Amino acid sequence: MRLLKVSRSVRLFVLLAALALLLAACPAAMPAAQPAAAPAAAEAAPAAEAAPAASMRTGKDLKILYWQAPTILNPHQSTGTKDFDAATVMLESLARISFEDQLVPFLAAEIPTIENGGVAADGTSVTWKLKEGVKWSDGSAFTPDDVIFTWQYASNPETAATTLANYDDIANVEALDATTVKITWNEPQANPYVPFVGFSGMILQKAQFANCIGAAAITDAACQAANLAPIGTGAWKLREFKPGDTVTYDRNENYRDNANTYFDTVEIKGGGDATSAARAVCETGEVDYSWNLQIQKAVLDPILAAGQCDALAGGSFGVERIVINFTNPDPALADKRSEPDQPHPFLTDLKVRQAINMAIDRAAIDDQLYGPTGEATCNILVVPTPLNSPNTTCERDVEGAKALLDEAGWVDSDGDGLRDKDGVKMVLSFQTSINPLRQGEQSIIKASLAEIGMQVNLRAIDAGVFFSGDPGNPDTLNKMYVDIQMYTNGPSEPDPTSYFEGWICDKVNSQANSWQGGNDGRYCNPDYDALYELYKSEFDLVKRAEMAIQLNDILVNDVAIIPLINRATPSAKAKNVEGPTYNTFDSNIWNIATWSRSE
């Protein structure tokens, strides 16, 4: 996935590797032992009451606080970071991606390359050597069959795996011997490090999930139970899971590196909000690590400046964006609601989408809410830095937005302040997860669109529900039963192939794929799809970079999405906890098995 990319020749492969090494060496990457400095307290921030002196936690129990509570532990059935991370404590991939954007072997013995014979020079296959003697937490042996099974599980469309896009280009996965797995592609791949790598590459135990391929994955009672209690090969095993609340893990006595694992137990507590999570590690010392301090600038600055914790930030946390629903979410449509064959009554009009984009006050969102933890952006792809398009602009122009709506025939015909056309009023439902920062963004966007004659009705959904991927819940981002919605996302690897796949026509969310295709806005543009297919098959480094920028520009200029902020959201750790890092392309707890406490 990360450091190296395949080409048709060793020369091109070396060029790709050199580029990735250059990216890893750029100033944005900092050593793990060098957390980001806490920003100075804002002059305008309200005076905070003196926080109680933090009592540093001791002992070998690691307490982690996620204000978004985990709801499932099978990463192939989840869309939320909190679920991927909760699974990461137990499950492993062949390789993970470090904060320095380099591949690190986990279940693999080494990273395959052209030089060591693991990657075919023509891009048709990749061969992974597995570590010997690895066991599942139940004591059974980890084998190539588990890798093969995970591909079969995730690539079956009826399984409705959220990771399907990472596996459906594979023609075959086969065991060459007891510790060797070969992946053969349907067509040559420019990047062999997508399947079985990173947070979406975690391996499931065949013995546990053997009967869960297809529709049974989410309907069968035994499979549902397995989704909540997977057996893993990692440093800890599940003790107890209370979905929407807490996950508790005990040391896995069968873990291959048990002697070097410091913590006996791990607890991930969910719920609350980002502000209380920050205070729990930075002021009261109740927990050792708090994730995603997505907090308004005026509140976050004094918490970090108190000096009781280390802030961890760097790279890109992802781009906060508005997703446009190209289909009609009207509840009156019943089962046809937000289905691909039901076009939206006005968001399918490019001029309307352009007007919305032009009206939004990104500067206010940046200055008032994010400060040093984010930067306004026009692009949906901002990392790696060389792929951040220089071609797009997104300056605010309220009068220009009004003119576009006038041209499109959307006018205030009855003087009530709302534009209308053919009996349709410009009223938008706008949802996001519950978080004070996001509700602040919603308020600014609502006010911005009111200036051009649009009414915006706001919805705030519990994060555990919004990001759950539960096909039975109407409030998930996957179903998108609203006109627009907002969240943060970004590529899971330096090569953005799988990221761009999230906007192709074949991935449009619908009942047919249990709303898990990956394209929640139901955007479909044949020109985009055609360029994406060329991009997938292009091996020349320079041409791939050009195409990546072009794909970004199509999405931005077609207003398939509205990028808002490139986030550098910090997490925080107690000063006596060693090991946590930020991470751009993988989980922030990718290396949790190496964490320790200085006594």
How confident is the model over 501-531, as pLDDT tens digits?
999 999 999 999 999 999 999 999 999 999 9
Higher pLDDT, 26 or 346: 346
- List phi, psi (to 5°) of 461: -110, 140
Q: Determine contact, residues 107/266, Cβ cutoff 8 Å.
A: no
Is residue 458 one of the residues assigned to a domain?
Answer: yes
Does residue 399 form part of some domain?
yes
Has residue 50 been placed in a domain? no
The DSSP output letter for 337 is: T
From CA 345, how far away is CA 325, in angstroms rounded? 10
Edge-to-edge, what's the strand order for the sheet holding 427-433?
A: 374-376, 561-567, 318-324, 484-489, 427-433, 455-461
What is the domain range of residue 392? 318-567
Give the per-residue pLDDT at 79.
79
Band the pLDDT of 54: cuts 50, 70, 90: low
Cis peptide before 384 (omega within 30 of 0): yes
pLDDT at 40: 30
Kindly tell me if the per-residue pLDDT of 398 is higher than 50: yes
Residue 39 has pLDDT above 70, yes or no: no
CB 54, CB 321: distance < 8 Å? no
3-state DSSP helix/strand/coil percent for the chain, to nearest 5? Answer: 30, 20, 50
Confidence bin at 15 (pLDDT 50/70/90): very low
Which helix (H) or strand (E) covers residue 596, if one does?
Answer: strand 596-597
Rounded CA-CA distance 525/513 in Å is 19
Q: At 2, which amino acid appears?
A: R
The mean per-residue pLDDT over the stretch 432-456 comes to 96
Integer Cα distance of 293 and 569 in angstroms: 6
* Nearest one of 439, 426, 165, 499 to 295, comparing CA atoms: 439
Model-wide pTM > 0.75: no
**457 in any annotated domain:** yes
- For residue 322, what are the β-bridge partners? 486, 562
Q: Using the predicted structure, report yes or no on whether residue 285 has a pLDDT greater than 60.
A: yes
CB neighbourhood size of 224 (10 A): 16
* 487 falls within a domain: yes
Q: Is 378 exposed, middle or buried (0-12, 13-18, 19+ CB in 10 A)?
A: buried
> Please, what is the average pLDDT of the chain?
89
Confidence band (pLDDT; 50, 70, 90) for 124? very high
CATH number, domain of 489, equals: 3.10.105.10
- The average pLDDT across 48-63 equals 71
pLDDT band at 8 (very low <50, low <70, confident <90, very high): very low
**Where are any strands of DSSP class E within 387-454?**
420-421, 424-425, 427-433
374, containing H or E segment: strand 374-376
Query: With bands split at pLDDT 50, 70 and 90, how would you rate the model's confidence at 159?
Result: very high
Q: What is the pLDDT of residue 122?
A: 92
Residue 251 has pLDDT above 90, yes or no: yes
Number of domains in the chain: 1
Does the pLDDT of residue 315 top 90, yes or no?
no
Phi, psi of 338 (to 5 degrees): 55, 25
Residue 393 lies in a domain: yes
User: Does residue 289 fall inside a structural domain?
Assistant: no
Q: What is the average per-residue pLDDT within 422-439?
A: 95
Distance CA 587, CA 97 (A): 8
Question: Is the residue at 42 inside a domain?
Answer: no
Taking the C-alpha atoms of residue 409 and residue 415, their distance in angstroms, rounded to an integer, is 15
How confident is the model at residue 373, as a pLDDT?
A: 86
